[in-house]
Structure 1
Amino acid sequence: MESLVSVLLTEALPRVLTISVLIGIGVGLANLAVAYGIVDVIARVGRYLTEPANLPDEVGAAVLTNTVSVTAGYGMLAEFRESGLLDDRATLVAVVINTFFGFVQHIFTYYGPVLIPILGLHAGLMYVGARAGISLAISVVGLLAGALLLRGYEYDGSVVDPEVPEDGEGDDGGRTHRDTLRQAGEKTLERLRSIVPRLAVVYSLVFVALEYSEQLVGALAVVGVEEPAAVVDPIAGLLGLPAAAVPVILVSLVDPTTGAITVAPMIGDVLTPTEAVITLLVGSLFSLTIGTVKRSIPFQYGIWGSEFGTKVIVVNTGLKAIFIVVAILVFLVI
């Protein structure tokens, strides 16, 4: 077991620094986009998303940013919420809509170059298609929620408008590019000062807790759950999966890529491509708990704080669980 200092320096600190940089980029882009009017340009494309969901045009820029960086996109939404452009309900709708656009970048960075070669073209495309369908369904739920819950909402766009000196002349009020960059930098640093301390505290607590996870396993044994397979076995049997699927599900709990590597040799002999995809989906369903503790809680709490962060986690995790189950049922039927 690593020392407490080692865990903080090798696990928590790098993650906090990386996410802080990406959030800073997102918040900075939001401020610059507003200052230079770039939001208006991006909104022409994003309006196809924002108008049906009754969201302001500025949100379109944040949603589309997710295709490049989910953290940066969340940073932009956090900036819009903190500025008062979005209230909690509108922010939740925007977060749900983000889901598919955040998935798109993973197609090019993970699913395409990593997972499909591991699983093979047939099973790989089936699994990626399932994950894409799950993400798209969640985003559609967000659009429908906005259409119903945000009907009649009015937004005060002036809260994110660039500040223009009262005695300025011309369209930019006499403001230079240096002034604009300085003002955007100051706003970004101000936002980071409120976010980074939360990130540091929550990530530190989570990684320390994970380091002492053996005690958690011991606690499970006390209540009669001596090993995870005791929980997984009945579910695999209920879905008609062979016994070979159980270790794959267990491995996927810890690392989805290792789960794919484990199941790949079984495809065709032990498992059909469809059974392999179902196995990975079941593993991803179980791993939602670990993913929530390891990634979602520290990330969302760091950005939004504990109260609103909890709402985001509950909505995101709940919708993922529902549509993963739907996807499993679809594969069982076809």
Structure 2
Amino acid sequence: MIAVLAAAALSTLKFLVAMVPVFSVGVIVAEFIVALGWVNKIAWITRPLTRIGHLKPECGASFLTAFLSPSAGNAMLVRHHEAGLITRKELIIAAIVNTFPGIVMHWRTVLPIAIPLIGIYAFVYYGFLLLVGLLKTIAAMLAGHFLLEPDNAHAIIPSAEKQVGVSPSWALWVESAKKSRKIIIRVIKTTIPVTAVMFVLIHAGMFDYLNTWLSGLTAFLPLSPKALSIVATRLASNVGAFTVAGNLLYASKLSGREVVLSLLVGNLLASGINLRFLIPYYLGIFGPGTGWQVLAVSTGLRMAIMAALIWTLFVIWT
């Protein structure tokens, strides 16, 4: 038990060191951008997005930021919600929309590994992941279109610079940091216990049991035994799945279509395993109440779309 607690403490520390600085910088940058009135200046870039989803320009700015860092983009949403600029409903919808930039940037962990192993099918697989993310974003925007007020997308955000007469300077950064301190401290207080509990469960083997249970589901899938080996490997390792797929493809044991389907099925089943990282991430940034809502809606919507896509491909390709 002591070894489990020690390992969990080390993992918690590593997670916090990686997440908290990025989140903190995101909140401070959000405060700074609002103070300068930049939200209005860059609103035209995401105006089609915010107009369809009836989202305020602040949400569009966070969407752009999420291409650089999803944590920073979501931190901006938290800051805007705390400042009363967006409602909780807008926060949840915008947070789901913000998952798309993360999926786009996922190429950095997929393509460099997959291309040498499965060739052109790496782009096919990645393309389907993008399609799932795009459909999820469209679904979120449609939800915003019907659930939010149309005037949201045309709201004008007052510039703090004009209100207080401050010029862009180091002093404004310091002021932004001071205003962000309350949010950052609250998030850290939530993140530490949630992360610690999750890593205790991870090192205690709870997710290993989940992995074993999910592996058992492969017996019910309409895939060949060789294709099932890719699915089972994907639950343990993304790189391992590409390696197994590449070997089977090179040996002509599986077709490219079977490889892509197997990787997609493995990706779907791995959603349960990924909760070990998603729970502390979402609950830490958005708080327990909103965090659970964003996590449940985002993960559930993605799994539903992914399952529908896989079923469609099974029908078309078999």
Following TM superposition, by how much is the alpha carbon of 1:227 offset from its aligned partner in structure 2, in angstroms? 5.7
Residue type of the alignment partner of 1:31: E
Instruction: Give the gaps of 5 or more residues in structure 2.
Output: none
Partners of 1:22 and 1:71 within 8 A in 2: yes
For residue 261 of structure 1, the aligned residue among 243, 253, 257 is 243
5 Å matches for 1:255-334? 255-267=237-249, 269-292=252-275, 294-332=276-314, 333-334=316-317
Following TM superposition, by how much is the alpha carbon of 1:144 offset from its aligned partner in structure 2, in angstroms? 1.2
Instruction: Give the gaps of 5 or more residues in structure 1.
Output: 166-171
Q: What does the per-residue CA deviation read over 1:306-327, in whole Å, with 9 as the maximum and x for residues that have no partner?
A: 1111111111111111111122
Following TM superposition, by how much is the alpha carbon of 1:329 offset from its aligned partner in structure 2, in angstroms? 2.1
Is 1:186 the counterpart of 2:172? The answer is no
Following TM superposition, by how much is the alpha carbon of 1:12 offset from its aligned partner in structure 2, in angstroms? 1.2
The higher-RCO structure (CA 8 Å, 6+ apart) is 2
Q: What does the per-residue CA deviation read over 1:195-244, in whole Å, with 9 as the maximum and x for residues that have no partner?
A: 11211111111111011116973xx8xxxx98654322112xxx2x1111
The aligned residue for residue 125 of structure 2 is 127
Partners of 2:65 and 2:72 within 8 A in 1: yes
Q: How many equivalent residue pairs?
A: 315
Change in Cα spacing, 1:182 to 1:147, as seen in structure 2 (3 Å) is same
Following TM superposition, by how much is the alpha carbon of 1:4 offset from its aligned partner in structure 2, in angstroms? 3.7
The aligned residue for residue 81 of structure 1 is 81
The aligned residue for residue 230 of structure 1 is 216
Q: Could you tell me how far apart the structure 1 residues matched to 2:48 and 2:202 are?
A: 42
The aligned residue for residue 28 of structure 1 is 28
Is 1:197 the counterpart of 2:189? The answer is yes
Partners of 1:248 and 1:280 within 8 A in 2: yes
Q: Could you tell me how far apart the structure 2 residues matched to 1:297 and 1:209 are?
A: 12
Partners of 2:50 and 2:153 within 8 A in 1: no
Partners of 1:85 and 1:160 within 8 A in 2: no
Q: Could you tell me how far apart the structure 2 residues matched to 1:215 and 1:182 are?
A: 43
Residue type of the alignment partner of 1:42: I
Change in Cα spacing, 1:260 to 1:56, as seen in structure 2 (3 Å) is same
Following TM superposition, by how much is the alpha carbon of 1:255 offset from its aligned partner in structure 2, in angstroms? 2.2
Q: Could you tell me how far apart the structure 1 residues matched to 2:103 and 2:212 are?
A: 35
Computed over aligned residues only, the root mean square deviation of the Cα atoms, in angstroms, reads 2.5
Following TM superposition, by how much is the alpha carbon of 1:25 offset from its aligned partner in structure 2, in angstroms? 1.7
Change in Cα spacing, 1:160 to 1:264, as seen in structure 2 (3 Å) is farther
5 Å matches for 1:65-214? 65-107=65-107, 109-121=108-120, 123-152=121-150, 154=152, 161-162=159-160, 173-174=165-166, 177-213=169-205
Identity %: 25
Q: Could you tell me how far apart the structure 1 residues matched to 2:150 and 2:49 are?
A: 17
The structure with the largest helix share of the pair is 2
Q: What does the per-residue CA deviation read over 1:252-300, in whole Å, with 9 as the maximum and x for residues that have no partner?
A: 11222221222211115221111111111111111111112x1111111
Change in Cα spacing, 1:174 to 1:130, as seen in structure 2 (3 Å) is closer
Q: Could you tell me how far apart the structure 2 residues matched to 1:216 and 1:267 are?
A: 28
- Answer with 16-25 or 257-266: which moved more: 257-266
Change in Cα spacing, 1:248 to 1:176, as seen in structure 2 (3 Å) is closer
Following TM superposition, by how much is the alpha carbon of 1:10 offset from its aligned partner in structure 2, in angstroms? 2.8
Change in Cα spacing, 1:214 to 1:325, as seen in structure 2 (3 Å) is closer
5 Å matches for 1:237-256? 239=222, 241-256=223-238
Partners of 1:202 and 1:301 within 8 A in 2: yes
* TM-score (norm: length of structure 2): 0.90
Residue type of the alignment partner of 1:35: A
Q: Could you tell me how far apart the structure 2 residues matched to 1:216 and 1:331 are?
A: 30
2:225 match: secondary structure: coil
Q: Could you tell me how far apart the structure 2 residues matched to 1:179 and 1:12 are?
A: 34
Following TM superposition, by how much is the alpha carbon of 1:188 offset from its aligned partner in structure 2, in angstroms? 2.5
Partners of 1:274 and 1:331 within 8 A in 2: no
Q: Could you tell me how far apart the structure 2 residues matched to 1:40 and 1:326 are?
A: 38
